[in-house]
Structure 1
Amino acid sequence: MDIANYFQRNLVIFQIEKVQKLKQKYLYLNDYGIVEFPELILACSSLKTLHLHRNQIAELPSSLGNKLKSLKYLSLQFNDLHHFPQCLEHLSSLVSLNISHNPIGFLPECISNLENLNYLWCNCCGLTTIPKQIGNLKKLATFGARNNKIVTIPDTITNCEELCWLSLEGNQLNELPSFCNLKNLHHLNLNDNYFFQIPSSLCRIKTLNYLHLQNNRITSLNKKYIDKMAKVKINLLNNPIENAYEFIKHKNVMLSNKSLKQEGNNNQEEYSTDSSDLDTEWEHSSTDTLYINYDSSSSDYNSEQDNNELDVITAPKLTKFILQ
């Protein structure tokens, strides 16, 4: 065992024993090269927040769900889980779960047992479907399933009436169920899919502020839809829109210069929009979950804190011991 791994292992043990002795509620073991889930964690019954992302964990102990009953915030992203851990179904108090960047393949039906979930991220997990049981998560406010292979979305997702942030970017979708019941939806990311038009049901969501449809296959825009969504910022960059010129004066619509030039307009620069026009809130509205801070105090974007975390993540192993 090299010196870095030796210190890594002992620091992990130290951190866990400290939490256990002082009955602390938070344990952060990100990027420690952990291969096997430390059994000592199961004795930390006071834990409410457990961060284990950027390790190499392939299995979770079956008793985890029964031992850590108070757990509310769990981050497992960037590990080596090849299936959704069955033990998680017993964490009925769980509010936030991030299992992104694990090759789990699918979400099981037992996801419905996590009835208190507010935040669920499963980006880059090789998903091809979303189970209909997703509709049982009545408190779900944020759901991210980016960069998977999802072809359809179950109708039951419309039962998640508290949903306000939904990201389905980088899938294989060309239609949606009617989203009319999603009366709290604020942000919808459908970038990099196969949509040929803007789904009509989105026009009836009065709370919608951001709609991302960049890199789809949209060839024409319906003026009636665009007018109904006058208060929605719509990202339509990199779509082969044939009637783009008709909408260059719509300040809420972001169009590609390429589409406008195809119209043969010599003055398109006066009205055209491009990615350089992004304001701060728009830019952050499609941020990947790795850069979203969601501990017990906040679920909002926090660039300063997350940049500091990334500095630690990319530093050499021994840097951790200097920073302790």
Structure 2
Amino acid sequence: MSRFRRGGMTGDPRAGFRDQRDKEPAVPQGLINSARKSGQLNLSGRGLSEVPASVWRINVDTPEEAHSNVQFDASDRWWEQTDLVKLFLSSNKLQSLPGDLKLLPALVVLDVHDNLLTELPSAIGELVNLQKLNVSHNKLKLLPPELSQLQSLKSLLIQHNQLEEIPEALGQLADLEELDLSNNNLRNISGCFGGLTHLGRLNLSNNKLKALPTEISSLKSLRQLDCTSNLLEDVPASLAGMDSLEQLYLRQNKLTFLPEFPNCKRLKELHVGNNQINTLGPQHLLHLSCLSILELRDNKLKSLPDEIALLTGLERLDLSNNDLSSLPSSLANLQNLKSLQLEGNPLRGIRRDLLSKGTQELLKYLRGRIPEPKSEQGEASVITAMTMPSDAVVNSHAIATLKTLDYSDKQAPSIPDTVFSAVGSSPITIVNFCKNQLTEVPPRIVELKDSVCDVNLGFNKISTISLNLCMLLKLTHLDMRNNLLASLPDELEALTRLQSIILSFNRFKTFPDVLYRIPTLETILISTNQITSIDPLQLIKLTKLSTLDLRNNDLMQIPPTLGNCESLRSLNLEGNPFRNPRAAILAKGTAAVLEYLQSRIPT
């Protein structure tokens, strides 16, 4: 007991330990010591409502160890090693940053994303060595003009805040290479952006922009421009002068025509889906010969010009959910085309079963409608260039030129090793193993995971999807129709780029839950199974889903809340035993069905 009296503890002997615990710093001293030596301090996800002063003064205050008489080797004198250059404070509860931030002038990286910040201190302008600043996922409404002093800044991430305007000073960041302003409340962008001559990536998606400034054409280094989900009715003609532009995203706006790009000679991807484009003329296609992806889904196109054949480099063409009633035969001349999406169009003259056989079969059909060349020499050259001996194991021309690994319609029980060996170092993007007798996903398909984006395993006898397939993380299109599947593995949700999946003619009795967890899905074809119910509350979360085919299943009822899935442009329910909606309503199309279902939601 005398021990407690000497410590002044005449009451509860545990009180002193509680006081000591309450005074413990939120940041362990060991982390501070390590940061002094490494120059990096990671305090992410620690529930901090404020940052201890010792962090801001880490380069200023001399630690107690430095004043002791204990001798240290040079390698042990951690307080003299280096200034703090990287500070990570993400996923905390910080509402503000103090002016003491200026005490860390050597900072190169400052990450405070996912906090509660409503403003940034003017002192941030004194971090003159800063190269990367991440303040995304906060509550910022304004940016301080002092940002213009960060002349070394290369990456500025401000997405998911509440910004309504951008200060002119931002245009002075001449070395900026990446700027993300997505998911804010921006209504206009000033001409100051013209000064960002080194900018390579600009993300303006999910704002309220009605126009882009003409000065944007000054961004001669810009390679990627994302304006998805705004209110754009037009884009400035000066946009055509951005000769470094490779990827342009204009999805979910109010465009009524496709812009012209006479000088964008490097443009490889053009995404203009979910607009109101009703006309596509030759003038829109003349200068897009380098285009590899053209996405025009969910528009109002009624026809395609024969000049579509000018897009000689096109590999993917998405025309889903338009008003196309016919296709030009010139499509067959697109020799590099690997994926042609046509779901949701009122096509006439082309059998539905032909559309379901895939891109190559459709192109073959269209090619048959092209008049034969009159020149015998020309005809011979076509045969020589485009055909291979019938006994060849694999088409080496398709591997090298079309980046396609095709071993289809062989009725083979397995894929020979020689097929995969023929790939070598070629970056295969399309795999077609349909119409065989496969009972499993070929294990060696995982060898193609770094490049493959389209896999067709339809018309086989596969009963389970292996984890090898779930490792193809770049996969965007998966065709598993006409197999023996009854379920999908949870690991399939790792395919975070998957846009379309075809599961028709299998043995599903329930709608696969994992599909609800793949938010990138735009097309789900799962007709002719035995599905008895769907969960519309989960489907609503698939905000990009525009095509859903549930024909010929065992749905006894259609939940009225399915009507809230407003992203759906094509919903097919025919051939199910439900009584409502009646056939007369189904015949009126998707919009009428959704309106009917909404009217039946209890208020």
Shorter-chain TM-score bucket reads 0.7 to 0.9
| Residue in structure 1 matching 2:50, options 1, 4, 9 | 9
More displaced stretch, 69-78 vs 247-256: 247-256
Correspondence for 1:153: 235
Task: State the Cα distance separating 1:202 from its structure 2 match.
Answer: 2.6
Give aligned pairs, total.
280
Identity over aligned pairs, percent:
24
Instruction: Check the 8 A contact 1:35/1:57 in 2, yes or no.
Output: yes
| Residue in structure 1 matching 2:345, options 245, 259, 274 | 259
Correspondence for 1:102: 184
1:69-148 to structure 2, matched below 5 A, reads: 69-148=151-230
Instruction: Check the 8 A contact 2:187/2:207 in 1, yes or no.
Output: yes
Moved over 6 A (4+): 3-6, 247-250
C-alpha change, 1:281 and 1:199, in structure 2 (3 Å) is: farther
Instruction: Check the 8 A contact 2:326/2:348 in 1, yes or no.
Output: no
Q: What is the TM-score normalised by the length of structure 1?
A: 0.76
Instruction: Check the 8 A contact 2:110/2:132 in 1, yes or no.
Output: yes
Q: Distance in 2 between matches of 1:206 and 1:230?
A: 6
More displaced stretch, 51-60 vs 237-246: 237-246
Task: State the Cα distance separating 1:5 from its structure 2 match.
Answer: 9.9
Code of the residue aligned with 1:172 in structure 2: it is K
Q: Does 1:241 find its partner at 2:311?
A: no
Code of the residue aligned with 1:197 in structure 2: it is T
Task: State the Cα distance separating 1:267 from its structure 2 match.
Answer: 2.9
More displaced stretch, 226-235 vs 160-169: 226-235
Code of the residue aligned with 1:208 in structure 2: it is L
Secondary structure (helix, strand or coil) at the match of 2:217 reads helix
Instruction: Check the 8 A contact 1:245/1:263 in 2, yes or no.
Output: no
Correspondence for 2:289: 206
Task: State the Cα distance separating 1:178 from its structure 2 match.
Answer: 2.6
Correspondence for 1:268: 354
Task: State the Cα distance separating 1:259 from its structure 2 match.
Answer: 2.6
Instruction: Check the 8 A contact 1:247/1:253 in 2, yes or no.
Output: no
Task: State the Cα distance separating 1:210 from its structure 2 match.
Answer: 0.6
Q: Does 1:166 find its partner at 2:252?
A: no
Task: State the Cα distance separating 1:269 from its structure 2 match.
Answer: 4.5
Q: Distance in 1 between matches of 2:352 and 2:295?
A: 28
Q: What is the TM-score normalised by the length of structure 2?
A: 0.42
Instruction: Check the 8 A contact 2:309/2:330 in 1, yes or no.
Output: no
Q: Does 1:52 find its partner at 2:139?
A: no
Q: Deviations 1:104-150 (Å, cap 9, x if unpaired)?
A: 10111121122221111111110001111111111111111111011
Correspondence for 2:300: 217
Q: Deviations 1:147-176 (Å, cap 9, x if unpaired)?
A: 101111111111111111111111111224
Instruction: Check the 8 A contact 2:128/2:152 in 1, yes or no.
Output: yes
Structure 1's unaligned 5+ residue stretches are 285-290, 293-324
C-alpha change, 1:171 and 1:12, in structure 2 (3 Å) is: farther
Q: Distance in 1 between matches of 2:297 and 2:57?
A: 44
Instruction: Check the 8 A contact 1:49/1:73 in 2, yes or no.
Output: yes
Correspondence for 2:269: 187
Task: State the Cα distance separating 1:283 from its structure 2 match.
Answer: 3.6
Q: Distance in 2 between matches of 1:85 and 1:95?
A: 18
Question: Could you say which structure has the greater relative contact order, defined with CA pairs below 8 angstroms and 6 or more residues apart?
Answer: 1
Code of the residue aligned with 1:86 in structure 2: it is E
Code of the residue aligned with 1:10 in structure 2: it is V
| Residue in structure 2 matching 1:23, options 106, 114, 126 | 106
Secondary structure (helix, strand or coil) at the match of 1:227 reads helix
C-alpha change, 1:31 and 1:245, in structure 2 (3 Å) is: same
Code of the residue aligned with 2:354 in structure 1: it is Q
Code of the residue aligned with 2:357 in structure 1: it is Y
Q: Distance in 2 between matches of 1:82 and 1:12?
A: 32
Structure 2's unaligned 5+ residue stretches are 1-25, 27-44, 59-83, 86-102, 360-431, 433-452, 455-472, 478-495, 498-603
Task: State the Cα distance separating 1:243 from its structure 2 match.
Answer: 0.3
C-alpha change, 1:266 and 1:7, in structure 2 (3 Å) is: closer
C-alpha change, 1:126 and 1:272, in structure 2 (3 Å) is: same
Instruction: Check the 8 A contact 1:16/1:40 in 2, yes or no.
Output: no
Code of the residue aligned with 1:41 in structure 2: it is I
Larger radius of gyration: 2
Alpha carbon RMSD of aligned pairs, Å?
A: 3.3
C-alpha change, 1:246 and 1:70, in structure 2 (3 Å) is: same
Code of the residue aligned with 1:139 in structure 2: it is S
Q: Distance in 2 between matches of 1:199 and 1:9?
A: 58
Task: State the Cα distance separating 1:261 from its structure 2 match.
Answer: 6.2
